[in-house]
Structure 1
Amino acid sequence: MVILVSILIGGVCGWRIHAYFTKEDSLPTNYITAKLQDAAELTTQTITYTSRVPMTDGKIPFITKKSFVMYYNATLRAGVDLSEVEVKERGNDKIVVKLPHATIQGTPNIDPNSIEFKDEKKAILN
């Protein structure tokens, strides 16, 4: 009887140890998709640039026409919208993630400390 109980306990312990070391870690596709959608954007490139914007108002030179040129530095981001990612399972050991093409994300971020006004021309009546 003791031998039978020992064999039974040994078999159960061996089976549990085998199951522990051979189990496969797998994530369901909907879990991966949900985690990707939480972030929703992935910036892959940023560009910092200086822009020149001429401004003119009025029509008669020296009387009503005034103008200036504004310069500023801005940063623009490009990347991938992760809400459009497609995740598919291929067999038991592969997951295919299809990313959309990169696009411009948001609007330019203008540095307010970089704004400069140059070439100011004032009018007599303004």
Structure 2
Amino acid sequence: MSRGYWKKFLIDAGIPVKAADSYTSSFVDNRISESMVPDLSKSVLIDLGITIIGDVIAILKHAIHVTEEASAERKERNSKKQKPEKRRPSSERKSKKVEPEKKAETIPAPLKKTEEKQAAKI
């Protein structure tokens, strides 16, 4: 990970420049990468030699902020990748006329029997 990334990260977290220079060396020397930001914890920072509690809190708060921001950007990119289906303007669409179904003429059963009886009488 580049020194520039960590120095900016630490300064953005509110760490004084002189301390940020020292902490940057610890991050680089220990091969901490940008993808590891969500894994930063109090114990990791102490292992890196960052023992001033105010700096620890500031770095952890900034790590949360950076992680949330990166997550939001990924979601936005993914939603842009899923392009909505393009629809043609209604003037360009072919209209399909739907014919109503033709039902065979049927006589309800009770009426049918009555008609049969009347026909038989004739």
Normalised by the length of structure 1, the TM-score is: 0.27
Superposition TM-score, scaled by structure 2 size: 0.28
Write 1 or 2 for the structure with the bigger share of strand: 1
